[in-house]
Amino acid sequence: MTHLAPRTAPRRVVVISTGGTIASRWQGTGYAADASGGEVLAQAAVPDGVTVEVVDLFNVNSSSMTSARQLTLLRAVHEALADPGVAGVVVTHGTDTLEESAFFVDLHHDDPRPVVFTGA
């Protein structure tokens, strides 16, 4: 049994927003992660035939990504992939700890659908 959505149906992707530079905006004295996942997604080109569901999980600078937050992120990825209609997951993340979070999720990822990390 495959977990991938049929090609004729629109593909659903879940974007999990965690903050970082990709979600940072000028605060008058510096930048801080405060944009929602929807605000970040509004700057992206979404291909035709793809629908996106945004999960605003965190809105923290990447240096504040703790082990507890990584566990919460892992649970959110698993929850998104529990839906067989989801074609994949994109995690927006700060670059300071993106590698560590991606590695942690990869260690516990056995689903054939992709989990992609991106930052700015």
* Non-local CB neighbours of 50 within 8 Å, separated by 6+ positions: 10, 11, 12, 13
SS3 33: strand
Percentage with pLDDT > 90 across the chain: 55
Q: What is the dihedral of CA 90, 72, 106, 17, to 10 degrees?
A: 20
**How confident is the model over 5-23, as a mean pLDDT?**
79
Element (H, E) at 105: helix 98-107
Whether pTM exceeds 0.75: yes
Confidence of residue 81 (pLDDT cuts 50, 70, 90): very high
Of residues 54 and 60, the one with the higher pLDDT is 54
Instruction: Please give the positions annotated as active site.
Output: 21
* Sequence spans of domains, the chain: 11-19+50-118
**How confident is the model over 73-102, as a mean pLDDT?**
95
Name the residue with tokens 């996106």.
52
11-19+50-118 CATH: 3.40.50.1170
The answer to whether residue 73 scores a pLDDT higher than 60 is yes
